[in-house]
Structure 1
């Protein structure tokens, strides 16, 4: 992993504004979710457009041009149309017109799924440099009159650049799914998102931390070796519960959800970019990524934060 970047829409919507729709207060939302504000994309801010901006920033951070990219993967569950892929449009707009390109939908686990696929693609020799982006416009799928979802979700994009290295930088993934519980989070045909919030909360706070511990085991480290924990930014209570159960007391815990809400597949790369830009995680330090969400899907892996600008 040699570069990171993110795009955050300019419009910040405070919890007070959302709460007023339902006769509640901003404090009521913060007590239940930890969210103070979230970003809403405007009509001219598309999933593809946000992905392009995040991708360009990640390439700039890596010191690379679009011509170096031979594969673009966009993790998203809010793409407006089934075809063409968002990734193909991104590839053309970043200056990689002949790069392989495809979208991956594993909802809030999508970034971790795509990261594993990208790393294995490089190891297998099918690509040398991959631009991986998580991009979401969740407000397109959320019913503004639904209390359970409208207080949580926001929009944005985050990206990383991956390239081959003699030193392993992406650890083995632990992943899976439970389709028998898929109705807990779904979008019905022609409708808006439905989520059984309490059931999802119980699942995330009881079933996910063993996955995270397995990822540490597979990487050959202990949780105490971690410099950072970057869970999917679903809800601050879930983030803090997961971090506490891991017991990595000295690790920085990403809490980007407070200011940006739940951005599904974009949440982990956005949170990573924030930790990097604020200088809270040293280059080459170990970080645990943990995704979980609709499907139900889950995934976790240990990674090294980018070093200085790439030289490849």
Structure 2
């Protein structure tokens, strides 16, 4: 009797894209002042670590950003879009109610036939999507997957609320995940707690051609911070335990890029120097589901991350959702 060898999923290519329009804190403050909203570069940097963000033009959709990032990831992996048999897009800002942004992206890539769908877990979305793709590859349901985080959060910001509108930006990041006989995705874990839905939400929807509720982002920053720090440490330790690893085995922590203080606190709890944390929040702002793959691609392209490094990817977002993935890159 013979048994088949284990099937794993490995990241073979990364890509990212930021829309050309870059707004520094000073530029954003100048724009907000026209509407009577006061803020400053110093105020934003002190509280968040953010210095700039990118906004997409009004005629650019999340699928357009995803297309650029996907092409870069495919090129890095050395494969053609027609070889992809699974596309998962993590987004909270889809192009339309339906079809999914993933289906629209699939068409733009010219790669019909494989499964394509969106995942909605807000800032944890990429971790959720990567976990799903890993499971599908391990079970043989897919062999080559595109996993993308793509957001146009500028469309859902209340520019009269300085506590939220200064935080977010637009962008997309992507990875190619392929079946392998050697481990790549080492362990994953996902969680959610809907009791905290109201601390970060966009409480609006479309009915009868009208917007019901409020279609702009609402956040209780202190509540989010308190929850985030606790769950990010616990889920990271749980994933390490699943993989038989310890804090010392992490070469790079790639957290959701929401706030430098949350990242610093998480690093301290995991006994990691900030030299081991990939930080892009200063230039990107919070790009929600796009933030982890954007940071990952940045670190790969700049040579921070090298083949064989062990990466801890973790995110927390509205829902309330959170999760982590340990990766042998």
TM-score by length of 1: 0.95
1:257 maps to what in 2?
A: 281
SS in 2 for 1:61: helix
Equivalences for 1:62-211 in 2 at 5 Å? 62-189=77-204, 190=211, 191-211=215-235
Q: Tell me how far apart the structure 2 counterparts of residues 211 and 251 of structure 1 sit (CA, whole Å).
A: 21
Q: CA RMSD in A?
A: 1.2
Q: Tell me how far apart the structure 2 counterparts of residues 268 and 219 of structure 1 sit (CA, whole Å).
A: 21
1:250 is displaced (CA, Å) by: 8.0
Q: Tell me how far apart the structure 2 counterparts of residues 209 and 97 of structure 1 sit (CA, whole Å).
A: 40
Q: Tell me how far apart the structure 2 counterparts of residues 221 and 250 of structure 1 sit (CA, whole Å).
A: 20
2:208 maps to what in 1?
A: none
1:3 and 2:8 matched: no
Check conservation: 2:187, 2:327, Cα contact below 8 A. Answer: no
SS in 2 for 1:282: coil
String of CA shifts for 1:117-166, please: whole Å, max 9, x gaps.
10110111111100111000001111111112101000000000001111
Check conservation: 1:227, 1:250, Cα contact below 8 A. Answer: no
Report the structure number with the largest CA radius of gyration: 2
Q: Where does the alignment leave 5 or more consecutive residues of structure 2 unmatched?
A: 1-10, 205-210
1:292 maps to what in 2?
A: 316
TM-score by length of 2: 0.90
SS in 1 for 2:57: coil
1:251 is displaced (CA, Å) by: 5.8
Q: Tell me how far apart the structure 1 counterparts of residues 100 and 295 of structure 2 sit (CA, whole Å).
A: 25
SS in 2 for 1:2: strand
Q: After the TM superposition, which segments of 4 or more aligned residues of structure 1 sit over 3 Å from their partners?
A: none
Size of the alignment, in residue pairs?
Answer: 305
1:173 is displaced (CA, Å) by: 1.4
Check conservation: 2:89, 2:119, Cα contact below 8 A. Answer: yes
- 207-216 or 32-41, which deviates more: 207-216
